[in-house]
Structure 1
Amino acid sequence: MYTHFLLLQRRQTKHNTDQSTSETILSLGKLAFKGLKEKNLLFTEEDLTSCGTDVTKAAVFSGLLTRIKRENHELYKQNMFCFVHQSIQEFMAALHVFHSFTNKGENVFTESTSATSDLTASEFYKKAVDKAFEDEHGDWDMFLRFLVGLSLESNQDLLQDLIDKSEKHKDASKEAAEYIKKKIRENNSDPDKNLNLFFCLNELNDDSLVQEIKNYLNSEEKPFETFSASQWSALNFVLLTSDENLEVFDLKKYLKSEKVLLGMMPVVKVSKSTLLSWCELSEESCNGLTSSVLTKPSSNLTVLDLSHNDLMDAGVMRLADGLKNVNCKLETLKLAGCQVTERGCISLAEAIEFNRVSSLKHLDLSYNHPGDKGMRALNAIVEDPNKKLETVK
């Protein structure tokens, strides 16, 4: 899709300028890669010039790069530039890296400017996968999807005016897919990383791991308790890319198990309502929900029902850590019958008080033991006119 979009931009500009557009496109790719390395989304005219981009020529590619006028801004009088969307920048950066390797024999991932013509395409993709996988914040995830997609012959045919077709890539896409599957099997700690690698496999038209999960879902046998980390990632990928409505996540639909919940956190994160009552959960589930969902800016979760699980004060205090986070979007939290005492209730009240932008409106603590101090702390929050909290049971 992005390749066709680039070709459309190029076709439109040919009617507006007599200059070759290839050099401008490739210089924009260099600019995009520079920004990705430096975690920069805004560029000055000097940034464009340093990457060999003529500002006048770049202006005709308004579908890729746009100018931000700041004449009225006190600190920034000069014009600034940015790509029209971050994914456009990531695609252009991947195009630059692919072109540098294919046409010039250079691996721009390294600091050295010397040619690396002896580097095989397979090694090149492995280095790219490792770079994205090792980044803690996922800044290279979309870039990697675009880069492995460019390894396919179909995309290289579309970009033949920009990229030399090379024998280097003949079997590289298959080898890249095998290396990605190896990384998925070895990673037992970060499901989000594995999820991105599944998107990369999708770009490479490899669905071997996904097909295994689809077969499980279509059969009566659902051995979730014995799933490996790679199988959990495959299950999350299948659900996230399916037509299934994920607004409500009900753990009982799969299996009432803490292990299953922890394995499906990426699905919980995109749901608006998560139903976990009577599912035999403990403090460990609260740890997972806080670190993987409540504190993530990408989370959609607004309703969380954990009623009638033995969370105890320790688990509820961990949830309170999530409520303190400015990224938490919870509006309803149900903790009925979770063996919460005065200590846990006070922690919840302090968390709501701490987060000045807390969105929590409804808190259910029925069938617990808040004690007098816990009741007073919670009532004080309800009566605070600056808080959105409307009801506490």
Structure 2
Amino acid sequence: MTNSAQKEKIAIAGAGIAGLSAAIALRLAGHPVDIFEAEPKLQPFGAGIQIGPNATRILESWNVALLGTGFEPENIEIHNARTGSLLNTVPLREAARARYGAPYVTLLRKDLQNALLSRARDLGAVPKYSTPVTGAEMTKDGFQVTAGGRPYTLDALIGADGIGSEVRKFAWGTKQPVSANAVAWRAILPITAVPEAARKNIGVWMATGGHFVHYPVSGGSSLNGVLVLDDDYRNDGEPDRNDPLPYLLHRLEGWAPQVRETVSSTKAWLPWQLRGLEKWDGGHGRVQCIGDAWHAMRPYLASGGVMAIEDGAALASALAGKGSIEAKLARFREKRAARVWQVAERSALIGRIYHVAQPFDVVRDLAIKKSSPAKLLERNDWLYNTRV
């Protein structure tokens, strides 16, 4: 770790994926770091997460240990969710390592956050829980951040406190999340919910107005399931939170039996209203948002958490440059904006392709069938080959 003498002191609001990633990168670069978390303990949102090679490469460089909890899927199997037909199989495990020099990993969000937290603590960055950040301003004594009702004199504030960011609210009150008009239903499924041949793969099932994804987590002992349906579920009446299956199966009428059977393997489906943020700068002066606080995006590229990890690495790199802290953060914004908004826009496009209405889905399916598996993986080079 670089000597911390003369390094800027950084406050981080939020101890999620973005905040812990930034803390690790900054500590490795020698920066003193204070992590302020409003919640009383670690509270991962969602069930599983996919981490592409562009982020696992960074995690490996930080010595963040994912072995034992992560899983490297063998393939991605792409299906039409109504007919059940397999459109193509994209090789992933060996292919990702060979093409991108890093693995593609699926795991539980709590396992990723625990691994990040363990590494941050090893580096001396221990979150202060139940300590919300409520303000930041320049004073005669320097730049002060108010957290847990106390003032802290630091050099910059990083807002990594999620899509409902309090930092974003007190610094730019007008930047509010926008509904994506879709709901993601998430659950952990038994590994036996899919045929044995599919248990080591990512399964993607596309239909008009929705899609279903499942992939191995917990070292391959269970599955994460995500069912995304267009429109607010309240348009069809409030489902029973204790047993939403009747509602979900009603929405899945006309979908292939294997999808309905997999979804029926548990009642523990939890809804998550999908929201995003419209394009904006993400910061000014000594305050900068990262992760979902800056660029919350639709989940169709499985890259929201991945962009948060990239943000941490890019932030540490920017602060290693010359100039004032304001100039360094401005360079960070300028460099990252093109990347994160490209990913956000591509993710929204993928969602439209997944959910395209009939008969246009015939064209989509034909294009996927005619593509070689290697070509389908190659189309992700722009995403996975990027090094921040």
Q: Same fold (TM over 0.5)?
A: no
- Select the structure of larger CA radius of gyration: 1
From the two aligned structures, give the one with the greater helix fraction. Answer: 1
Structure in which a larger fraction of residues adopt strand: 2
TM value normalised by structure 1: 0.22
Greater RCO (CA < 8 Å, at least 6 residues apart)? 2
